[in-house]
Amino acid sequence: MAVSIIVTAEGIRLLRVRGKLMAATLEDLKTALNAVNERSLVVVNLKGTQMVDSVAVGYLVRRHGILYQGGGGLALCCLHPDVLKMLTVAGLNKYFILHDREEDAVAALKASYTGPLPPPKKRGRKPKEKKAEEKSPE
């Protein structure tokens, strides 16, 4: 599997995927998506992909959630009919922004995120405050 990355003038990242998108070949897509900021807008073009397995779909769901929570977004476009059928059967066609054309997916992301993006949410626990022991004066 190969992934080519294009960044639009608006800063939206277009990831064009070619080949089988499966657990064994997922590393290039993981590298590309892990490199983007949580506030990024990303379109994954699957025109060159006819096969996607559940591990790859699970990874896309996780990355979509991370981007969404961080103030960004992820859209899928140009899906092969078999891939679209798999997403529909799993109920994920309502979860992702799906479009037939790359330009439509870019426009949908721009329309969804018209204002300034919110600051990224902080992860992890809040540090515990140390309680000062009060000593009674004697």
Query: What's the rounded Cα separation, in Å, for the pair 127 and 61?
Result: 30
Does a structural domain hold residue 122? no
Domain carrying residue 73:
2-112
pLDDT for 62 equals: 93
Report how far residue 121's alpha carbon sits from residue 123's, in angstroms, rounded to the nearest whole number: 6
Angle between helices 54-70 and 27-34 (to 10 degrees): 0
List the end-to-end C-alpha distance of the chain, in Å, as a whole number: 75
Which amino acid is residue 47, in one-letter code? K
- pLDDT by residue (tens digit) across 108-119? 988 877 555 444
pLDDT digits (tens, 9 = 90+) for 5-37: 998 888 899 999 999 999 998 999 999 998 888
Q: What's the mean pLDDT in 120-138?
A: 57
In a domain? residue 103: yes
Residue positions counted in the chain: 138
Q: Could you tell me the pTM of the whole model?
A: 0.78
3-state secondary structure the chain: CEEEEEECCCCCEEEEEECCECHHHCHHHHHHHHCCCCCCEEEEEEEECCCECHHHHHHHHHHHHHHHHHCCEEEEECCCHHHHHHHHHCCCCCCCEEECCHHHHHHHHHHHCCCCCCCCCCCCCCCCCCCCCCCCCC
pLDDT at position 135: 55
Q: Find the CATH number of the domain harbouring 25.
A: 3.30.750.24
Count of domains forming the chain: 1
Is residue 132 a part of any domain in this protein? no
Taking 80 as the threshold, does the pLDDT of residue 90 lie above it? yes
Q: Is residue 128 part of a domain?
A: no
| Residue pLDDT, tens place only, 57-69 | 999 999 999 998 8
Is 127 inside a domain boundary?
Answer: no
